[in-house]
Chain A
C-alpha cells in the first residue's frame, strides 16, 4: 500500500511560475525524501528532510515538513520547461528498519 499520497495528481503551469506539490503520509517517519522522474527514466533524488527539521532549501527547491499534520510540501520556484517531470515523495518509516515507501506522484508540466 502507498504510504504517501501526493496532491495534485497533475499540475500545469507557465514557465517562471512557482509549482507547489503536497505529500501526506500515515505513520511516523524518520525522514522524507523527494525524487524526480523524467519520462522513461529512473528516479533522481532531490532532497531529504529529517523528522526534526521543518524546512530545507536546495537551489530553487524548498521543502517543508509538518509532522503533526503528517504532510510535506515541495516548492519549485521560477519553474523552467526542464522541470517537467513527475515528482514523488518517499517516506522512511520510524524504527529499526526504515522502510522506504513512495507516494503516488505529481505530474508537473511547465509550459514554455
Chain B
C-alpha cells in the first residue's frame, strides 16, 4: 500500500485566496483525521471522520475552514478565505478502527504558506 497520500505537498498562496488540501487514506481504513501543526500550538486535531461521517469537528478554527469526505477514499480540507495565521503544516491520518483504538497512519503533510 502507498500509505496516506496528501496533495499538494507545498502550497504558497496569497491572503484571501481559497486553498484546498486533499487526502487519500489507506484503503480499508474507516477513520480519517485532519491535523494542523505549528510551532506555537503543536499538533491540533481539526476534524475526525468515521465511515465518512464527521464525528468531531470541534477543532475546526472557524467558518473559514470546511472539510468533506464524499467517499471512503478521498477527503478535502478547504480554507476560504485564507489568512497568514493559517500558515502551518496540515496532516491527514487514517486508522483501521475508530479513534483511539489503534495506531494512526500519517501522510507526509502539506506545508501551507499564506502571504
Q: Does B70 count as interface, using CB distance less than 8 angstroms?
A: no
Q: Does B45 count as interface, using CB distance less than 8 angstroms?
A: yes
Number of A-B contacts (CB under 8 A): 57
Q: Does B2 count as interface, using CB distance less than 8 angstroms?
A: no
CB-CB under 8 A from B33, the residues of chain A are: 100
Q: Does A98 count as interface, using CB distance less than 8 angstroms?
A: yes
Q: Does B104 count as interface, using CB distance less than 8 angstroms?
A: yes
CB-CB under 8 A from A42, the residues of chain B are: 4, 91, 93, 106-109
User: Contact check: which of B35, B100, B107 meets A99 at CB < 8 Å?
Assistant: B100
Are B108 and A93 in contact (CB-based, < 8 A)? no
B11 vs chain A, min Cβ distance (A): 15
* Sample of 20 further A-B pairs with CB below 8 A, known A45-B103, A100-B33: A31-B100, A33-B103, A41-B109, A42-B107, A42-B108, A42-B109, A43-B91, A43-B106, A45-B105, A48-B103, A92-B100, A92-B101, A98-B98, A98-B99, A98-B100, A99-B56, A99-B100, A101-B45, A102-B45, A104-B42
The contact sample of 11 A-B pairs, CB cut-off 8 A, is: A41-B109, A42-B91, A42-B93, A43-B43, A43-B93, A43-B106, A48-B102, A97-B55, A99-B48, A99-B99, A103-B42
